[in-house]
């Protein structure tokens, strides 16, 4: 295992311990609103601090970009750690056991290492650039489905960007007519990990942040898949609008998505 990935795994497991301990006493978790339909808990903050401390012990010079802490600049900006300490906060707050720790490492602007850790199921998804993707040490691959018929797609509602609700629902309806079923589980990091592991055939969502998708994106790519924006380009990190699947099925998903983009989502 790459040394930085080893530290990322350690950091994710440490954060997972913070989260699972807190899950046993949800009534004591403090919840605050940081924006419309956007919540942060004392557990998000504690888990992120645990991750930062773990990284800093081994790599004090690296830059860290955290969902709660913002940008913590180090002397070496060529290496950036992008962390979401608790992806699926709403699930966590409600006691729904589906959330994850997401940690990605960029080297000179390119995704290099990734960890998505589900502490409830003890499932560790990892990827290293050019070395493939694994689930608990076993190689994973995206599904090879070529058409939408019979597929299971994952998605997320644009709850922070409700101005795009009509466009999103049109995309959903168009795809739903052709697929076997759709899933909205509440954690983009796990949705992308599930695409990589072949548990779902594809994923699309509007209005995500880099820390939601960075680790999952590398997982999908290293599992043989593709990640694009809603028009098939490479602006998903900036726009937050994302599609992930195998290359053939991704083209089919885009055919149903593109007619509903409009100027606001192009």
Question: What average pLDDT is seen over the chain?
Answer: 93
Q: Residue 217 in contact with residue 111, Cβ under 8 Å?
A: yes
Per-residue pLDDT band at 263 (split at 50, 70, 90): low
- The top-level CATH class assigned to 152-260 is alpha beta
Whether the per-residue pLDDT at 88 is higher than 90: the answer is yes
Nearest CA among 212, 213, 210, 208 for reference residue 227: 213
Question: How far does CA 203 lie from the centroid of its chain?
Answer: 11
Question: What pLDDT digit, counting tens, does each position of 235-244 carry?
Answer: 999 989 999 9
Per-residue pLDDT band at 264 (split at 50, 70, 90): low
**Per-residue pLDDT, 265:** 63
Question: How far does CA 250 lie from the centroid of its chain?
Answer: 18
Residue 62: enclosing H or E segment and its boundaries? Answer: strand 62-66
**Residue 2, helix vs strand vs coil:** coil
Question: What pLDDT digit, counting tens, does each position of 45-67 carry?
Answer: 999 999 999 999 999 999 999 98
Beta strand 31-35 with 181-183 is unpaired
Choice among 71-75, 160-164, 178-182, 196-200 with the minimum mean pLDDT: 160-164
Whether the per-residue pLDDT at 30 is higher than 90: the answer is no
- Measured from the Cβ of residue 35, the count of other Cβ atoms closer than 10 Å reads 8
Q: Residue 47 in contact with residue 53, Cβ under 8 Å?
A: no
On whether the 3-139 domain is CATH 3.30.1360.10, my answer is no
Q: What is the largest CA-CA distance in the chain?
A: 51
Segments making up each domain of the chain, as ranges? 3-139, 152-260
Q: Is the dihedral of CA 88, 172, 202, 5 positive or negative?
A: negative
Per-residue pLDDT band at 120 (split at 50, 70, 90): very high
3-state secondary structure 93-160: HHCCCCCEEEEEEEECCEEEEEEEEECCCCEEEEEECCCEEEECCEECCCCCCCCCCCCEEEEECCCC
Whole-Å CA distances, 210 to 87, 221, 240:
12, 16, 7
Compute the CA torsion angle 43, 47, 52, 57 (nearest 10 deg): 130
Q: How far is the first Cα of the chain from the last one, in angstroms, to the nearest whole number? A: 39
């Amino acid at each position: 295992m790459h040394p930085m990935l080893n530290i990322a795994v350690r950091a994710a497991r440490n954060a997972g311990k913070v989260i699972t301990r807190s899950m046993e006493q949800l009534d004591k978790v403090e919840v605050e609103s940081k924006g419309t339909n956007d919540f942060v808990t004392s557990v998000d903050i504690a888990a992120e601090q645990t991750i930062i401390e773990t990284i800093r012990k081994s790599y004090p010079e690296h830059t860290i970009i955290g969902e709660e802490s913002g940008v913590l600049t180090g002397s070496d900006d060529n290496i950036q750690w992008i962390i979401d300490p608790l992806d699926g906060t709403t699930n966590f707050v409600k006691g729904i056991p589906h959330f994850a720790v997401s940690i990605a490492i960029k080297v000179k602007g390119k995704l290099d290492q990734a960890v998505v850790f589900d502490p409830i199921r003890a499932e560790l998804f990892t990827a290293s650039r050019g070395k493939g993707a694994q689930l608990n040490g076993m190689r994973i691959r995206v599904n090879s489905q070529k058409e939408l018929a019979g597929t299971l797609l994952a998605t997320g509602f644009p709850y922070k960007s409700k101005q795009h609700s009509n466009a999103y629902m049109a995309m959903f309806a168009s795809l739903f007519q052709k697929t076997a079923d759709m899933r909205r589980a509440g954690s983009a990091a796990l949705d992308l990990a599930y695409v990589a592991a072949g548990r779902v055939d594809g994923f699309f969502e509007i209005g995500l942040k880099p820390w939601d998708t960075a680790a999952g994106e590398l997982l999908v790519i290293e599992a043989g898949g593709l990640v694009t924006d809603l028009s098939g380009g490479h602006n998903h990190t900036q726009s937050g609008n994302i599609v992930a699947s195998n290359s053939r099925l991704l083209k089919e998903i885009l055919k149903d998505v593109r007619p509903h983009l409009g100027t606001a989502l192009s």
